[in-house]
Amino acid sequence: MHPQNLVQPTLNANPNVTPNMNHGGHEMFDVHEILSSTINVLDQYMIFRTFVQSQELIGILDRQYNFILSQYNLTAECFASGQKPHQETATYMIPNIVPPVYGLKPSAPKKPNQSLADVKDAGISGHMLGLIKSHASLLGMSCSEITNGTVRRVIASQIQHFIEMAYEIFMFQNKNAYYQVPQLTPSDTQQMLQAYIPATGAPQMPINNKPLH
């Protein structure tokens, strides 16, 4: 277990408020949205499974489903109690990371499916990637609104793992040419890489409350 994944005890708890009532109004709405969104991801993964053809994609879907379900349970538990959940937050591990394939290959133009017979792994994995990326963004936007320290850290710790899950789906799509990655020319890439340099020396910060002019 990595230190950053350990949930710290709630240090900002109000002694006059019981842990399960230590929630602000924004937090209540945001965590409800997170939990509802998590259920939506899980339910859609279950539906997607009936259409998947690739055993590799089945493995990715099942592994991610089980991890997301465990994070849902942790979040629901600590939100209801306001306290540290019984289990520590886990780390999502990609079994095999492969380098990305750069460049574009000729491919047929895309169009909407005309029937369920047109549903293929390319589309299913695309839906999975969209769900996971959207949920990662939701977690990032919401956790800064959460006043309960334990709930905030449980949710914040999940962001990096949803990013890893998104990358795992991207790798599947990329190696099957479902998600192709163009590159800039070497000269353009080099120019972009050198567009920023580290700051040197100590910044001259203005005195507080002093007019700038």
Domain 3-105+115-193 in CATH: superfamily? Ferritin, core subunit, four-helix bundle (1.20.1260.10)
Which pLDDT value is given to residue 137? 97
> How far, rounded to the nearest angstrom, does the alpha carbon of residue 50 sit from its chain's CA centroid?
24
Give DSSP secondary structure letters for the chain: --GGGSPPP-SS--TTS-GGG---HHHHHHHHHHHHHHHHHHHHHHHHHTT---HHHHHHHHHHHHHHHHHHHHHHHHHHHSS--SSPPP----S---PPPBB----PPP---SSGGG--HHHHHHHHHHHHHHHHHHHHHHHTT--SHHHHHHHHHHHHHHHHHHHHHHHHHHHTTSS-B----HHHHHHHHTS-----S---PPPTT----
Residue 19 has what pLDDT?
A: 61
In the prediction, which pLDDT does 22 show? 63
- Write the Ramachandran bin of 10: left for phi over 0, alpha for psi from -120 to 50, otherwise beta: beta
Question: Which pLDDT value is given to residue 174?
Answer: 98
pLDDT at 24: 62
pLDDT at residue 4, as a whole number: 47
How far, in Å, CA of 146 to CA of 142, rounded?
A: 7
What are the domain boundaries of the chain? Answer: 3-105+115-193
pLDDT at 161: 98
The one-digit pLDDT tens for each residue of the chain (213 residues) are: 454 445 445 445 566 656 666 656 668 889 999 999 999 999 999 999 999 999 999 999 999 999 999 999 999 998 888 888 888 888 999 999 999 999 999 988 999 999 999 999 999 999 999 999 999 999 999 998 888 888 899 999 999 999 999 999 999 999 999 999 999 999 999 999 999 999 999 998 888 876 666
Residue 88: what pLDDT?
83
